[in-house]
Structure 1
Amino acid sequence: MSFALGQRWISDTESDLGLGTVVAVEGRMVTVLFPATADNRLFSIQEAPLTRVIFNQGDEISSHEGWKMIVETIEESNQLVTYHGKRSDDGEAVSLRETMLDHQIRFNKPQDRLFAGQIDRMEYYVSRYQCQQQRHAMQQNSHRALQGPRAGLIPHQLYIANEVGQRHAPRVLLADEVGLGKTIEAGHILHQQLLSGRAERVLILVPENLQHQWLVEMLRRFNLRFSLFDEERCIESLADSDNPFDTEQLIICSIDLLRRKKRFEQALDATWDLMIVDEAHHLEWSEDKPSRAYQVVESLAEEVPGVLLLTATPDQLGHQSHFARLRLLDPDRFYDYQAFLTEEQAYQQVADAAEALLEKRPVTDTEAKALTALLPEQDLTEALAAIAADDQNARDKLLSDLLDRHGTGRVLFRNTRAGVSGFTARQLNRHPVTLPEQYATAVKVSNMFGGAGNTEQQVINNLYPEKLYQQFEGDKGNASWWQFDTRVNWLLEFLKSHRSKKVLVIASQATTALQLEEALRTREGIQAGVFHEGMSILERDKTAAYFAQEDGGAQVMICSEIGSEGRNFQFAYHLVMFDLPQNPDLLEQRIGRLDRIGQNHDVQIHVPYIENSAQQHLLDWFDKGMDAFEHNCQGGHLLHNEFSEALINVLAGTGEGLNELIEQTAARAAEHNAALEAGRDRLLEINSNGGEQAQALVEQIEKADDDTDFISFMLKLWDVIGVHQDDRGENAVVLRPTEHMLYPSYPGLPDDGCSVTFDRDTALSRDDFQFITPAHPMVAAGIDLITSSETGCTGVSLLKNKALPAGTLFLEMIYVAEAIAPAEVQLGRFLPPTPIRLLMDKSGKDLGQNIDFDSFNRQLVPINRHTGSKLVSASQSVLHPLIAAAETQVAERLATLVSSAEQRMEQELGGELERLQALKAVNPNIRDAELDAVREQMSMAKAHLDRAQIQLDAIRLIVVTPE
């Protein structure tokens, strides 16, 4: 490089500095002043990342005084350039020395950068085009939000998420039974609402003991970073805002926090798009005296457009309370309890008709009359004839119309284990052990000194004798109970005989779990992970990953009760309950860690217990009275509430009255189960599990998961950006930032790196791996790094082709058509940022539609920037007319794109509006707000499509050279 004082140069790495001036050349160093930003830069002459700026004939340039001129001739003297030409405003002949050029000149347009010699590496240019293509594909993928979460592809969950997640301000009650995934369904819906722009601010209200579980689930499964608000956080937030709820977009808090008048008023004053309420069956209501919690949720539900209520037991507080929750969702629709009961009675007729269509048999005359009566607005003659001819499409269409128009299916979704396939059996294995002398002595001493306390304390002493023993040991460092406890002896022998099996052990307390780990490690050298409430999220993820690891991982995971807080370990099927909880709901949650859809083996439940003790009595009550181990106990909470006092007396004493208690419990359980079965809303279940439509969703997402082109794209993108990649096997890649990245940082990539996987099964078993899909934030971040910068927007390549004369020129231009609109318009469904590629020959003919990018690119070879700059300078007289011709051609392509987008919009949104209008005439669950939202979306989409624009994103010169 040759530098002289006064020359104008531009930085290749910091083009936003504007035009620089050489102010000093000393030895091997050159100093460049960038007046636009008042920055000085010192460079090595040999390695300076600078490009000499010399304009060409025909260019329009600006003086630092503000006037512009068209260059006609160029004169060089003493290594400085003077431009001669005419002013653009008045045509006056003028001369302009390069030292007097406008300092604000920036080469942001691709063509300007190309002519200024700022030529990017060939791989950068290719990556930029591929990023534009990937972004376009991502926005057109209607199932991207469903594919993204770290969750199994469960048909009924995906169906509900897809059905509800695409609504405007959805207001529904999710009431699936325990283990069927209400939290995942809510997360799916939330994820879609956020990704589509339908929602930005979200409030999740949960019981206090579930806050952490929701925080973990939203982050681990959906990459959503919620803030957990308690009183302390609210006080801290006052430094940023008078209303603490205005300081974050995504908030989780307990309902108890909002019982306080001040916090409730602040939450009510904040603006929310969506509210989720978990454990909604706790919202007690009566017409005369609703609970405070119900009043809080009711007031918020009146203000928040979207509301999701979650409960596994919608009738827990009685059918009237179930009506009250529906009333929260739509008070105009569910205004009177008696009217609701009357309407419900009519659902059975609809369910019978739906069952006839589901059974895929000929429809009887009686059933045909019933269908005709239920769908009076339709002429069913042709449909019934098609069904008689075994036309499955006609059957499905009629069933869909029936479900659309009747029942509470649009506001209430409930799946039951009886109606959902995919569960394996559960088997109880009893393991009686003898009472250690040490425990017997501890009990005697406790009774002698009156240490048993009240009845509840006596129950705890009887169920958990190790706790009582430790009270007598005192604080002597390590506990010794596990050295003689016969349950520990059994556990050690069991683990030694099942060395190749993963085993989940759950105990009630964290101290018990920690001491069990010490026992396994000390006595038999068995490596176990421990999972308890005192650990951070990161520590829990690492422990869960250690357990999930097939080779070299832990054989055993020992959890405190928090082990049933939402983590799923269905890759294991042996569950050891070292002790038993007193609440049947907790028992079901423990079993539910393994007994889930996706479990491939019968779940083996092992219960070691001391014979003839309270432990055996509780086991017998759960097993013989409630059948709670081998079958899901629907009404466990009701039975527990009814018999808890009698149970406590049995457990606190010698077991007297146990048989009578078991008989009474079993009789009530049978009555309850019979009532549940009789009350099963088959119409609701049909509408909730999605049927063949749900299975089709699964297949579509499975196909998307297998897209190897996406994997190749991401690996190449990370390589171009400069992210270090280390293949660790097990479908995992470790990513680490480096000092040589193109950008200072990569959003979402931690400073110490992270492990990622593209495989869903691996992600489900390894919580410490990031699950990379097109919906993952790191994908959008990587694409944005490239497309929002100037990386790869210019290029020069050589084409070695004997069939073409040497020196033949081609100009490749990548345009992007885009219409900018608010996120809630979802314009990406119809016109996402769309790359348009033109490949012009020197006559101005576009060859791009006949020669695809990839096959053409494989024939090209890179060229160094210095030679490329010379080729561009020599070709300018040809390139300027080609760019002008391309502008005309690409404008025609834009008009075609916009027309097609408007047609798709009218077809999709217009069709949805017609469907909702037809439904509203027969189904009062259709809200006016939904219709208005579709109309508004159509109007806004049309307005923004009409303002669609196109801009040149990248440009590449290709020159034919001999072989």
Structure 2
Amino acid sequence: MAFGLGQRWISDTETDLGLGTVVAVDGRMVTLLFPASGENRIYAKEDAPVTRVQFHAGDTITSHEEWTLKVETVEEQQGLLTYHGIRQDTGEPESLKEVFLSNFLKFNKPQDRLFAGQVERLSRFSLRYQALTHQHARRLSPTRGLAGGRVSLIPHQLHIAREVGQRHAPRVLLADEVGLGKTIEAGMIIHQQLLGGRAQRVLILVPETLQYQWLIEMRRRFNLHFALFDEERCIEAAHEADNPFDSEQLVICSLDWLRKKRARFDEVHDTQWDLLVVDEAHHLEWSESTPSRAYQIVEALAEEIPGVLLLTATPDQLGHESHFARLRLLDPERFYDYDAFLAEEQSYGQVADAAQALLSGDALTADQQAVLSDCLGQTVPAQPDELSRQQLLGELLDRHGTGRILFRNTRASISGFPERVLDAVGLPLPEQYKTAARVMGMMGGSSGDAEAQARRALYPEKIFAQFEGDDASWTRFDPRVDWLLELLKAARHEKVLVICSEAATALTLENALRTREGIRGAVFHEGMSLLERDKAAAYFAQTEGGAQVLLCSEIGSEGRNFQFASHLVLFDLPLNPDLLEQRIGRLDRIGQLNRVQIHVPYLQGTPQALLLRWYHEGLGAFEQTCPTGRPVFEAVRDSLFALLATSQGEDDAAFAELLATTQAQHQALKAKLEQGRDRLLEIHSSGGQSAHALVAQLDEEDDDTSLVSFALQLFDDIGINQDDRGEDAIVLTPGDHMLVPSFPGLPAEGCTVTFERNTALSREDLTFLTWDHPMIRGGIDLILSSEIGSNAVALLKNQSLPAGTPLLELIFVAESAVHPQLYRFLPPTPIRLLLDKAGNDLAAKVSFEALSRQLTPINRHLASKLVGASQALIHGLIAQGETLAAPRVAEITAAAQARMSQALDGELQRLQALQAVNPSVRASELQHLVELKDELTHQIQQTQLKLDAIRFVVITHQ
């Protein structure tokens, strides 16, 4: 490199330094001053990472006094350049020496960087083009926001997420039965609303005990980083904003806390939100004269917030009046009078019967024809053909009752659940426990109410430890421990989940299993940090070298997914049917491939045996889900606690009477629930065939390897280290020479990722990468918002063309102003041209991939020489390229306008027709669609063409 004082150079590695000036040349070293940043750099002359700044005729340059010059000629004297041309503000001839160029000069346009010698690596040009094409495809994809979560692809969940998530300001009640995934549905809806730009600020209100579970679920499953707000957080946030809730976009807080803190409720109410989510909405008690304070809080927020999601597994738990009240929160104009609501509901049964006839293919009765004709506003024949049946059913599902704002799936209507088998093992009561119980009785330890006595009697190991001390381990004689050891040895190659009521029991058992038989186990309890629990769960999930058994305290019942195991040991039983169902629900999930074997070791002649029989014979709670469990438990709890506290035998008449009462109430409630099923609503909620088609589409996307290829190239070019750990897992760590200081979503300590959904579901310690993951989206944004890969120079070996023949590849982008809703119709759209020296476009004949495979990269010095020798040609071809790309922009905008009009007009017509027969369609939805169409039409008309990247190729014979 030939350096001279006063010359202007730019750093290849630190482009933010601005334009540098050579201030010293000493032997083998050169010193550059960068006035814009006030920095000096000393380089070795031979390999300095800098590029000489040289402009050419046709360029526009800026002086240090901020006036601009259109260059006509360039003069070089003693190594220094002087530019002659026309000053743009005066129109007069002017000269500008290079030393007086603006210090803040940056090369942002791809052609400027190319001519300035800032040539990128060939692979980065390819990466940029792929980023553009993948971003375009994903923003147009109808599955955007659905496949990105760490969730199984379950039809009814995906159907609800798609149906609700793509609405403007959705207001719905999600009322699926326990275990069918309401939290997942809500997460997918929130994810879609945020990705699609329909919402920016989300407030989730939950019971205090569920705050952390929601926080973790949103982060683990959907990469949504909510902030948990309590009194302490509000005090801290007061330093950032006058209203603490203005400091975060995504917020979770306790409804109980807002109920108690009027000032905090006022702050939440004064904040602008787009979407409100309320979990456990069945706790919102209401009557016309005395609504609860919690109901009033949600009502006040729902009046101001456009979108509202209410979640409840038991919509009628507080009575039908409260169910009406929750619908009233969603649409007070539609549900204004309870008596009118009841009258309307009377017709649902007739409609459901007619729908059932359509489903079964039976001939319609005259009454059914009349009902359907009245509901649909058209004459329905007695024996419609198959196609007509499907069309009629589809219209009926859309227009029927509360179907647009209420979604309820039941296990009776959803397939895919495994068989549950109970293995109850009676074991003799050890003498040590008998002695401990007698001692407790003599010392007055049987005091307290019946519930407290029952809880003590169910856990004899606690009584023993209380009197004998912690050193006298009950695991030496308790027959349940020997039985558990034998089970683990018999199922040596299978995973076993053990749940106990307390952490101390789990820890003691793990120690006994490890010391007596060397069984690999992990513990999971509330005394561990979240990271420690994740590690324990991951150790249990490992197929090779992992723990055979995971021993959990009751916290193991919280929302964790262990469906890769099929053995569940209930070392003790909870005094709550809901907790029992939650325990079993860790394994009994959609997607479980094996029978769920529920092992219950119990001590004979103790309250454990009574409680086991009450659950099994009274409620059938082990082998079937038990939606009646809680109300029946509340009805008989006093009698149940009394029997458990006195430890009366299983043959006692009082226990027989309790069993009979429990069975009768269980059957009566079960029959009532079955009669109350709205089968048409269930069909609408499950999605039918379209939901299964959506699953098939997402399965196909999961099998596509394009994401893996793109992501690995992205990590390579950015400089992220990759270490393949097997089992579909890759460890990513920041490299020492990354292109950027930090990579979006990548922790400083690195992380382990997988592209496989099944692996991610079984190992929650892995990051699940999809097109919708912030790391991939952030990586694409990082590339496209910078100059990375914006130009390249390469050689193409081709004997059929003369050596030295140039080709110019131009990547234009057609884009409009940023509008979140515009992206689904007109995302930034790449236009590729491949021009020969005559300006002919060869792109249709030579694909990007085919060309890239044949190119040979060259060093920057040779690349600059080739570009400098062809600068005039390149300038001319760029101008020709703009002319060729202009008609393509018109085609793109016309297609976008057609897509937008078809989608919004179709939805508008559907909702207008639906509103005529189903008042649950809000007028605000229709008005929003009209206004959105006008706004997007205007934005599409403003589409501009931008040159995004340029690749110069020269033919060679060598």
Per-residue deviation, 1:55: 1.8
Contact 1:811 1:957 in 2 (8 A): yes
In structure 2, the partner of 1:830 is 825
Per-residue deviation, 1:408: 0.8
Per-residue deviation, 1:536: 2.1
Alignment of 1:170-569 (within 5 A): 170-260=170-260, 261-361=262-362, 363=364, 367-376=368-377, 378=378, 387-388=384-385, 390-391=386-387, 394-454=388-448, 455-474=450-469, 478=471, 480-569=473-562
1:845 corresponds, among 840, 848, 857, to 840
Per-residue deviation, 1:373: 2.5
Does the residue aligned with 1:921 lie in a helix, a strand or coil?
Answer: helix
Give the aligned length: 952
1:160 maps to a residue whose letter is I
In structure 1, the partner of 2:872 is 877
- Residues 725-748 of structure 1: per-residue CA shift (max 9 Å, x gap): 111111111111111111111111
1:736 equivalenced with 2:733 (yes/no) = yes
Does the residue aligned with 2:146 lie in a helix, a strand or coil?
Answer: helix
1:580 equivalenced with 2:577 (yes/no) = no
In structure 1, the partner of 2:615 is 622
1:195 maps to a residue whose letter is L
Deviates more, 1:749-758 or 1:841-850: 841-850
1:69/1:300 Cα in 2 relative to 1: closer, same or farther (>3 Å)? closer
Per-residue deviation, 1:242: 3.2
Separation in 2 of the partners of 1:672 and 1:301? 33
Does the residue aligned with 1:460 lie in a helix, a strand or coil?
Answer: helix
Separation in 2 of the partners of 1:738 and 1:15? 20
Separation in 1 of the partners of 2:333 and 2:140? 37
Per-residue deviation, 1:821: 2.9
In structure 1, the partner of 2:799 is 802
2:459 maps to a residue whose letter is Y
1:560 maps to a residue whose letter is S
Per-residue deviation, 1:431: 0.8
2:922 corresponds, among 914, 923, 927, to 927
1:663 equivalenced with 2:660 (yes/no) = yes
Separation in 1 of the partners of 2:635 and 2:518? 45
1:912 maps to a residue whose letter is E
Alignment of 1:668-707 (within 5 A): 668-707=665-704
Separation in 1 of the partners of 2:326 and 2:948? 52
In structure 2, the partner of 1:914 is 909
Give 4+ residue runs of structure 1 displaced > 6 Å after superposition: none
- Residues 565-595 of structure 1: per-residue CA shift (max 9 Å, x gap): 1001111111100110111011111111111
2:723 maps to a residue whose letter is D
Separation in 2 of the partners of 1:862 and 1:379? 71
TM-score (normalised: structure 2):
0.97
Separation in 2 of the partners of 1:105 and 1:228? 45
Contact 1:624 1:662 in 2 (8 A): yes
1:704/1:479 Cα in 2 relative to 1: closer, same or farther (>3 Å)? farther
1:34 equivalenced with 2:34 (yes/no) = yes
Deviates more, 1:906-915 or 1:484-493: 484-493
Separation in 1 of the partners of 2:71 and 2:273? 57
- Residues 795-828 of structure 1: per-residue CA shift (max 9 Å, x gap): 11111111111121111111111112332xx111
Contact 2:375 2:917 in 1 (8 A): no
Per-residue deviation, 1:346: 0.4
1:136 maps to a residue whose letter is H
In structure 2, the partner of 1:790 is 787
Aligned residues: CA RMSD? 1.6
- Residues 600-647 of structure 1: per-residue CA shift (max 9 Å, x gap): 111111111110110101111111111111111111110011000000
In structure 1, the partner of 2:860 is 865
1:8 equivalenced with 2:8 (yes/no) = yes
Deviates more, 1:874-883 or 1:57-66: 57-66
In structure 1, the partner of 2:952 is 957
Separation in 1 of the partners of 2:58 and 2:924? 58
Deviates more, 1:43-52 or 1:553-562: 43-52
1:444 maps to a residue whose letter is R
In structure 2, the partner of 1:710 is 707
Per-residue deviation, 1:37: 2.9
Separation in 2 of the partners of 1:607 and 1:190? 39
Contact 1:82 1:98 in 2 (8 A): yes
TM-score (normalised: structure 1):
0.97
Does the residue aligned with 1:451 lie in a helix, a strand or coil?
Answer: coil
Alignment of 1:106-121 (within 5 A): 106-121=106-121
Per-residue deviation, 1:4: 1.2
Per-residue deviation, 1:88: 4.2
1:372/1:74 Cα in 2 relative to 1: closer, same or farther (>3 Å)? same
Does the residue aligned with 1:144 lie in a helix, a strand or coil?
Answer: coil
Contact 1:216 1:537 in 2 (8 A): no
Per-residue deviation, 1:86: 4.1
Per-residue deviation, 1:79: 1.7
- Residues 307-360 of structure 1: per-residue CA shift (max 9 Å, x gap): 111111111111111111111111111111111111111011211222122224
1:430/1:832 Cα in 2 relative to 1: closer, same or farther (>3 Å)? same
Contact 2:211 2:254 in 1 (8 A): yes
1:505 maps to a residue whose letter is V
Contact 1:492 1:520 in 2 (8 A): yes
Separation in 1 of the partners of 2:178 and 2:682? 15
1:248/1:962 Cα in 2 relative to 1: closer, same or farther (>3 Å)? same
- Residues 82-109 of structure 1: per-residue CA shift (max 9 Å, x gap): 2334444555444332212232322111
Contact 2:557 2:583 in 1 (8 A): yes
Contact 2:20 2:103 in 1 (8 A): yes
Contact 1:372 1:380 in 2 (8 A): yes
Per-residue deviation, 1:56: 2.1
Does the residue aligned with 1:284 lie in a helix, a strand or coil?
Answer: coil
Does the residue aligned with 2:300 lie in a helix, a strand or coil?
Answer: helix
1:550 maps to a residue whose letter is T
In structure 1, the partner of 2:48 is 48
Per-residue deviation, 1:363: 4.9
Contact 1:797 1:957 in 2 (8 A): yes
1:644 corresponds, among 637, 640, 645, to 637
Contact 1:479 1:515 in 2 (8 A): no
1:600 equivalenced with 2:597 (yes/no) = no
1:283 maps to a residue whose letter is L
Does the residue aligned with 1:147 lie in a helix, a strand or coil?
Answer: coil
Separation in 2 of the partners of 1:148 and 1:154? 14
Does the residue aligned with 1:790 lie in a helix, a strand or coil?
Answer: coil
1:12/1:398 Cα in 2 relative to 1: closer, same or farther (>3 Å)? same
Q: Percent identity?
A: 61
In structure 2, the partner of 1:146 is 146
Contact 2:354 2:364 in 1 (8 A): no
Does the residue aligned with 2:429 lie in a helix, a strand or coil?
Answer: coil
